Amino acid sequence: MNNEELFEKYVSATLSEAECESLKVLLRDDPRAARDFACYVDETALMVSVAEESQQQQVPEGSANNRTRRPQKRRESALRLAIKVFVPLAAMLVIGAYVLVDYVQNQKAIGEVAVAVQVERNGAIVTLEEKQLVYFDDKVSSSTDGGRLKLLDGSTVTLSKGATCQVSKSTHGFEVSLKNGRGEFEVSSQKNGKSFIVMTPLLRTTVIGTHFTVDADDKTSRVRVLEGLVKVDDLKNEAHFVEPGELAVIEKGGVLSKKNAQKAMGLAPYLCNAQGEDCDVEYLESKNYIVLLYAQKWDPSSRSFVLQLMEFYKKFPGDYEVIFMDAEGDFSVKYKMPWLCVKDGMEEEVAKLLGPNPATYPLNLVILDQEGKVLKQAAKGSKWHGTDSLLLNLKKL
């Protein structure tokens, strides 16, 4: 056996024990052969890499026809051809049209429903219940309470209310096209070089084994990672790796950027609206500044400042959100505060995250960045700096 045959056996993983020993001797003792071997193996790797790319380019990714192409058949023997034609025909006669249709539909299946969804199929809207199959050409929308799909690889896609998506399956893995709304993805470990991709009109997220959410509409797309790591790109040149606690955002016509969502989102479980009800707090992650309001209803200056702040908040909305830090009593309800409030009994947890009121005054206003760093405060200890300059700062945000 010459050297090249030995190299070929290595790359095709068919070395016998004796051949393995011969190869080791060659690599140890013959530098020239060792170099030839390295070139041969590298060349094979390059060939596979390039051939795979060429094949991907020939068949568009995500298309229904993107399966391993059948090699040409024109040289098949007549007998083989006859058998191939005869067997499906016989099967059709025996099993019947119903089973065949069912089979074809199973081939189209990308997974099943875990929580009821609505799908647009063949021009009609149908509601699919738990365990019913979803096909790759179905346009899936969440029902009134959201919906969930379990894909064939075990990954789950949870759609929030009003979200729509389409899932396609190819030899390269799953691709979810999220048209609008929010999707939460728990992706199973992708094996054998397969990938899991989520497309929005503005960005592409390539999953490296993870749990993350994607929000999309015509103007903005956001990706937030809960576990693992994803790669996000803007379908052009800009790409970022996003980790837990980070957020990738792109606005139409803008540049893909990454920011830290950890501090703001760490507060999410402890916040509610002025009436003490649970509400959407995830928009906090896209705000660069958080304004903490400490105020007491019994304090006249607190009451008058809250009214002033409410007017300001309405007139100058910006890249900030106010959080009222005192949950006791009915101050937020009576004044119908339009911002977020700390839930009753959660003050200690919030203080652990952000620290207690830094002032001895009943009224204080603190501006934080997304990292939780204090940028400005109306009072610190027993020193009062006033709220006017803070409002001026907020106006600029």
Binding to another protein (CB under 8 A): which residues in 69-88? 69, 71-73, 75-77, 80
Q: Taking CB under 8 A as the rule, does residue 34 contact another protein? A: yes
Q: Taking CB under 8 A as the rule, does residue 236 contact another protein? A: no
CA distances for 87 relative to 18, 73, 83, 94, 264, angstroms: 45, 17, 6, 10, 63
Q: Taking CB under 8 A as the rule, does residue 29 contact another protein? A: no
Q: Taking CB under 8 A as the rule, does residue 38 contact another protein? A: yes
Among 158, 171, 353, residue whose Cα is nearest residue 271: 353
Strands 204-216 and 289-294: unpaired
CA 143/CA 77 separation, integer angstroms: 53
Q: Taking CB under 8 A as the rule, does residue 41 contact another protein? A: yes
Can you tell me which of 54, 122, 144, 237 binds another protein, judged by CB under 8 A?
Answer: 54
Cβ atoms 94, 114 nearer than 8 A: no
- Compute CA 24 distance to the chain's CA centroid, rounded to the nearest angstrom: 46
Q: Which stretch binds another protein (CB under 8 A): 41-49, 149-157, 162-170, 179-187?
A: 41-49
Q: Taking CB under 8 A as the rule, does residue 11 contact another protein? A: yes
- Compute CA 219 distance to the chain's CA centroid, rounded to the nearest angstrom: 17
Closer to another protein by Cβ: residue 15 or 346: 15
Contact letters for another protein, residues 161-200 (x by CB under 8 A):
-----------------------------xxxxx------
CA distances for 86 relative to 75, 78, 91, 283, angstroms: 18, 12, 9, 61
Q: At what angle do helices 17-29 and 3-11 cross, to 10 degrees?
A: 120
Closer to another protein by Cβ: residue 18 or 104: 18
Q: Taking CB under 8 A as the rule, does residue 114 contact another protein? A: no
Q: How many helices (H) and strands (E) does the chain have?
A: 10, 23
Can you tell me which of 1, 2, 3, 51 binds another protein, judged by CB under 8 A?
Answer: 51
Binding to another protein (CB under 8 A): which residues in 201-220? 208-209
Can you tell me which of 108, 112, 228, 312 binds another protein, judged by CB under 8 A?
Answer: 228
CA 334/CA 274 separation, integer angstroms: 9
Site residues for another protein per CB under 8 A = 10-17, 19-20, 23-24, 27-28, 34-35, 37-39, 41-55, 68-69, 71-73, 75-77, 80, 190-194, 208-209, 228-229, 231, 239, 241, 243
